[in-house]
């Protein structure tokens, strides 16, 4: 019937033959569906997308109206892209499938290259643009309706933050909901693999699965073989407590080859400073376990939050006495090797988390009796001081090329109706560009191992519950993430539940960078296409600063971020636009 109407619907075998299942196809007299959904649920109507639990993307074809709808779950776990030009619509959950259907490679989207090097873009709502001109992504929670050569865009999820429960009831319901969602995502699975980092999020999920399901759980710990290896003891404690096996994996030997492989799969430059290549050995171990589900704690940070809003509120109201008290509690929990003197820490926190004029804030601080005037004046002078050794003095990393300024994400316009800034930020942090692009990368990688990556923390009800817990309680006297800590009493080993030290992976990031820079340096010759977009002189200045052993590692973050991005962009250009 579809072929007679001049339409073709395909399950291309790359995403829909996971663990022996074919795509979920529904073909009725008047309509057809093609779905990538986990856990599998029935779709009764195109108008009840907001009622569906789980992770999904799909296509709905109405045969009588000659219309097509594309849609994607509220958090964007399942990828979906499309090309629509000259009455031709191509949609797929893989960019490379769309590229394969086009007669020639699309033009490079220069606007996306500019956004790629804009740090603010990573911390903004994800946008529809991709690195290919005319190929776009369906946004999380979006429904696109195609008919008669036109597109209509709408969003089907509006968060409900109108709750009346007490804080204690919210935490109790959060625990019950997290247990429900985690078990729902692993239902009917004899074997389940989980990325077990030793942190609160992944440890919580592994503890729930091991204690409340009959699945054969395998925890997979990625060992960076550096300063972050201390996380292993926490992961091991969780595994021992839950009586499940844990295996350790390390980065594959050829990082450059791994990045190339992922770039070819995803058709976009790597987005993470800690490269996504760390997930290749994790997914390989998950596949060897024999299951088809890989559980991840991704989304826990954004769903639970940290309670920093409490600190920002005290700063905005100039409640410096109370602020000093709560930040002292937090400072006392810091690792001794990382802790600077409290007075310096106190001043730095106020400046870094305050909004508006820094001059007005400095004046308010001088008028207060809670700060060391000598240190405060020293901090102000250091902020004003500019030296040639400061990377901010370098030329812009991008050349001056023409591009169209990208528009704000349609998500921002949709969710601006959320009245409280606190609630709005919870939603925004769950839909950031960096997070969505990371899940798109992992979605493409998972399919190569016949796996489904699932994220129990990305749940609409969990978000609603967590966002209504008072930020002061979530801050929990400096422990942070009090909602999850309280919810996991009796579930997590106590030593893990109250831990505060968190790995930074700085040395692993630098080691990874040196490997890539050494490999790519002879490849990116002076004639390379990369230098049409990137200022080679500025890049070399950042490289020199990174290699300068007299500059502390913690002062090289911006240099590392920009230099990694240059290398990733160069690898992408090599794969798709150089002969």
At 223-243, the pLDDT tens digits run 998 877 889 999 999 999 999
**Spatial separation of the C-alpha atoms in residues 259 and 264, rounded to whole Å:** 9
The Cα–Cα gap between 207 and 205 comes to: 5
Share of the chain above pLDDT 70, in %: 93
The residue ranges of every structural domain in the chain are: 18-155, 167-304+421-497, 308-385, 506-576
Is a pLDDT exceeding 80 seen at residue 51? yes
Query: Which residues pair with residue 88 across a beta bridge?
Result: 85
What is the CATH code for 18-155?
A: 3.60.20.10
Give me the pLDDT at residue 44, please. 65
Q: How far apart are CA 501 and CA 60, in angstroms?
A: 47
Could you tell me the pLDDT band of residue 560, with boundaries at 50, 70 and 90?
very high
Structure letter (DSSP) for residue 398: B
Asked if residue 285 has pLDDT above 60, the reply is yes
pLDDT one-digit tens code per residue, 382-433: 766 544 445 566 889 999 888 888 788 999 999 999 989 999 999 999 999 9
Sequence-ordered list of residues with C-beta below 8 angstroms from that of 409, at least 6 positions apart, any chain: 124, 125, 126, 127, 128, 139
**Other CB atoms closer than 10 Å to residue 31's CB: what's the count?**
17
The conformation of residue 23, written as its DSSP 8-state character, comes to: P
Question: What's the rounded Cα separation, in Å, for the pair 146 and 374?
Answer: 64
* d(C-alpha 557, C-alpha 561), whole Å: 6
Peptide bond into 150 cis (omega under 30): no
What's the CATH code, domain 167-304+421-497? Answer: 3.40.50.620
Query: For residue 119, is pLDDT > 90?
Result: no
- Band (pLDDT 50/70/90 cuts) for residue 3 is very low
Side-chain half-sphere CA neighbours of 177 within 13 A: 21
Higher pLDDT, 555 or 133: 133
Instruction: Decide if 18-155 and 167-304+421-497 have a common fold.
Output: no
| pLDDT score for 14 | 39
Distances (CA, A) of 153 to 111, 142, 244, 396, 475: 22, 7, 46, 36, 38
Query: Tens digits of per-residue pLDDT, 59-98?
Result: 999 988 889 999 999 999 999 999 999 889 999 999 999 9
For residues 3 and 466, the model is more confident at: 466
pTM score, two decimals? 0.91
Q: Which of 182, 196, 195 is nearest to 456 (CA)?
A: 182
pLDDT at 23: 57
pLDDT of the residue at 4: 43
Residue 475: what are its φ and ψ, rounded to 5°?
Answer: -65, -35
pLDDT exceeds cutoff 50 at 517: yes
Residue 291: pLDDT over 60: yes
Q: Does the structure show a pLDDT above 80 at 493?
A: yes
């Amino acid at each position: 019937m579809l072929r007679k109407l001049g339409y073709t619907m395909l399950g291309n075998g790359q995403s829909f033959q996971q663990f022996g299942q074919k795509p979920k196809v529904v073909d009725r007299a008047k309509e057809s569906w093609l779905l990538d959904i986990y856990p599998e649920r029935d779709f009764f109507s195109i108008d009840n997308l907001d009622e569906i639990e789980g992770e999904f993307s799909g296509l709905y074809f109405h045969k009588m109206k000659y219309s097509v709808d594309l849609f994607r779950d509220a958090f964007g776990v399942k990828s979906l892209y499309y090309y629509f030009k000259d009455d031709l619509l191509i949609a797929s959950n893989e960019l490379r499938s769309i590229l394969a259907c086009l007669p020639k490679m699309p033009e490079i989207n220069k606007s996306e290259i500019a956004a790629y090097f804009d740090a603010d873009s990573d911390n903004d709502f994800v946008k529809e643009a991709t690195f290919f001109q005319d190929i776009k992504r369906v946004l999380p929670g979006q429904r696109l309706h195609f008919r008669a050569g036109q597109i209509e865009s709408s969003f089907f999820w509006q968060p409900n933050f109108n709750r009346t429960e007490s804080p204690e009831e919210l935490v109790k319901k959060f625990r019950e909901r997290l247990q429900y969602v985690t078990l729902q995502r692993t239902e009917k699975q004899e074997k389940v693999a989980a990325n077990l980092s030793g942190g609160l999020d992944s440890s919580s999920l592994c503890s729930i699965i091991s204690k409340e399901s009959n699945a054969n759980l395998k925890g997979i710990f990625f060992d960076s073989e550096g300063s972050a290896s201390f996380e292993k003891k926490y992961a091991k404690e969780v595994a021992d407590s839950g009586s499940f096996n844990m295996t350790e994996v390390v980065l594959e030997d050829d990082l450059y080859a791994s990045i190339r492989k992922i770039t070819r799969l995803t058709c976009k430059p790597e987005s993470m400073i800690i490269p996504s290549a760390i997930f290749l050995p994790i997914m390989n171990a998950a596949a060897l376990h024999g299951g088809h589900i890989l559980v991840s704690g991704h989304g826990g940070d954004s769903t639970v939050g940290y309670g920093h809003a409490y600190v920002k509120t005290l700063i905005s109201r100039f409640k410096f006495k109370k602020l000093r008290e709560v930040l002292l509690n937090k400072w006392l929990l810091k690792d001794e090797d990382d802790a600077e003197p409290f007075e310096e820490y106190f001043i730095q926190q106020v400046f870094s988390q305050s909004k508006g004029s820094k001059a007005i804030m400095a004046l308010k601080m001088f008028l207060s009796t809670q700060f060391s005037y000598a240190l405060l004046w020293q901090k102000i002078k250091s902020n004003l001081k500019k030296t040639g050794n400061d990377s901010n003095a370098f030329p812009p990393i991008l050349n001056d090329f023409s591009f169209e300024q990208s528009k704000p994400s349609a998500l921002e316009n949709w969710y601006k109706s959320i009245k409280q800034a606190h609630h709005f930020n919870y939603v925004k942090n769950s839909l950031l560009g960096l997070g969505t692009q990371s899940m798109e990368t992992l979605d493409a990688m998972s399919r190569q191992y016949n796996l489904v990556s699932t994220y129990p923390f990305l749940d609409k009800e969990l978000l609603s519950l967590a966002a209504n817990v008072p930020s002061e309680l979530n801050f929990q006297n400096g422990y942070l993430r009090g909602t999850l800590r309280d919810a996991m009493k009796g579930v997590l080993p106590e030593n893990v539940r109250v831990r505060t030290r968190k790995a930074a992976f700085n040395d692993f990031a630098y080691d990874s960078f040196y490997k890539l820079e050494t490999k790519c340096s002879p490849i990116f010759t002076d004639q390379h296409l990369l230098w049409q977009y990137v200022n080679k002189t500025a890049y070399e200045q950042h490289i020199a600063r990174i290699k300068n052993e007299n500059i502390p590692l913690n002062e090289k973050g911006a240099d590392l971020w920009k230099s990694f991005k240059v290398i990733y962009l160069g690898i992408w250009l090599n794969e798709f636009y150089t002969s």
